[in-house]
Amino acid sequence: MTGQLSEPVTGFAELHDDLRAVARRVLGATAPGEPQDWTPIAASGWPGLEVAAEFDGAAATFAEVAVVLREMGRALTRSPFASMAVLALPALAAAAPGAARNRLLRAAADGAAVPIVVAGGDAAPPWGGSGGFVPFRIERRDDGISLRGTTEFVADVASATTLLIPAAEPDGSTVLVAVSPGAPGIAVAEQPILDGTRTIGAVRAEDARIEADSMWRWADVDPLRALFERAALATAIDSVGLAEAALDATVTHVRTREQFGRPVGSFQAVKHACADMLVALRVAGRLVDDAVAAHVLGAADAWIPIARAKSHACAAAVDIAGKAMQLHGGMGYTWESGIHRYLERATLNRALFGSPADHRAHLARRYRDPGFTP
């Protein structure tokens, strides 16, 4: 990413261990799937991790954000942090500097504001085609500027204090429009989903009047494609975290649950199932780590490890969560066990920002078309 994000930082294992421990303590205070209190998140400084120091941020990198995202997956956290840190803050950082933009970026870094980018989670690589991932349009008339469009599957939009809407100008260029969720002509509606640990909504703009100073052009190149890739990577990171937690819960259960006078974990079939889960998780974790490193270092072909990570990690998480339910026996299928929450979240992750099949097809284009660049 370009703009106000900090330069890549690597080799901070001790910092990551400390950050992981703090995140586990903060997030563990809330029951899985229950709304996470925003106050300790803001107090911990997580919203400003990747924001430059001049805007009161920590000037860290996405590698540090990834540590928190993974722990949020483990804890099944219900919070707008991921949407804000992965999409909103880098979008603001990529926008051209200005008084309004600077105020919002500083407030968001401090946790005082929660801007959310209106980006549909049903988007898939190569993130384009007929302007499909920019469904909002700017209309300029003699009586002012208005915004029209609609999109669905926007994560955490109900928590937004400001909506950041990518919109297409009449000349085809894109701008970032900042608007209040309650502004005239703007409608936000929550959409029902199976996953009880997240919220998804639809946003509709119908002749919504826009002030010129709330429309921000990009400081450099249009970052939307890179933002969608970040979202895909963040979803893969979350999947690894929840898969880790599902496996840990399963291993604990089979060690203590007895059948025929012995722990069920001593049976060969159960051992092999847990081993298969661990192997799939280790592969997913390595792919995600490689993708994070490529993204932090700004590699031109970072989309390749990101697509690999998204396609494998999200599919593996569904399989691991499903096996976790099976290995918990009949109680794994009860509402009270809570194991089903991992499968629900993993299933939604698999669909968001490109399915495994979408990303594999995206990768395959390199071989069908040697000159392909996304």
pLDDT of residue 4: 46
**What's the rounded mean pLDDT across residues 274-294?**
97
pLDDT of residue 265: 62
Q: What is the pLDDT of residues 138-162, one digit of tens each?
A: 999 988 999 999 999 999 999 999 9
pLDDT of residue 318: 98
How are beta strands 144-155 and 200-210 bridged, if at all?
A: antiparallel
Residue 301 has pLDDT above 60, yes or no: yes
Q: What is the pLDDT of residues 101-127, one digit of tens each?
A: 999 999 999 999 999 999 999 988 887
**What's the rounded mean pLDDT across residues 202-213?**
95
Global pTM value: 0.93
Q: What is the pLDDT of residues 45-70, one digit of tens each?
A: 999 999 999 999 999 999 999 999 99
Residue 372 has pLDDT above 90, yes or no: no
Residue 131 has pLDDT above 60, yes or no: no
pLDDT of residue 82: 98
pLDDT interval class at 366 (50, 70, 90) = confident
pLDDT of residue 3: 43
Domains and CATH numbers, the chain: 13-112 (1.10.540.10), 136-216 (2.40.110.10), 224-368 (1.20.140.10)
SS3 percent helix, strand, coil of the chain, rounded to 5, is 50, 15, 30
d(CA 235, CA 82) in angstroms, rounded, equals 9
Find out whether 251 and 306 touch, Cβ atoms under 8 Å: no
Q: What is the pLDDT of residues 220-275, one digit of tens each?
A: 988 999 999 999 999 999 999 999 999 999 999 888 876 777 777 667 788 999 99
pLDDT of residue 298: 93
**What's the rounded mean pLDDT across residues 8-20?**
77
Helix axes 356-368 and 303-327, enclosed angle (nearest 10): 150
Please provide the average confidence, as pLDDT, over all residues in the chain. 91
CA dihedral in degrees (306, 88, 7, 103; nearest 10)? 180
Query: Phi and psi dihedrals of 373, rounded to 5?
Result: -135, 130
d(CA 133, CA 120) in angstroms, rounded, equals 7
Residue showing tokens 């008084």 = 99
SS3 at position 321: helix
d(CA 345, CA 342) in angstroms, rounded, equals 5
Query: Phi and psi dihedrals of 219, rounded to 5?
Result: -70, -30
For residues 373 and 151, the model is more confident at 151
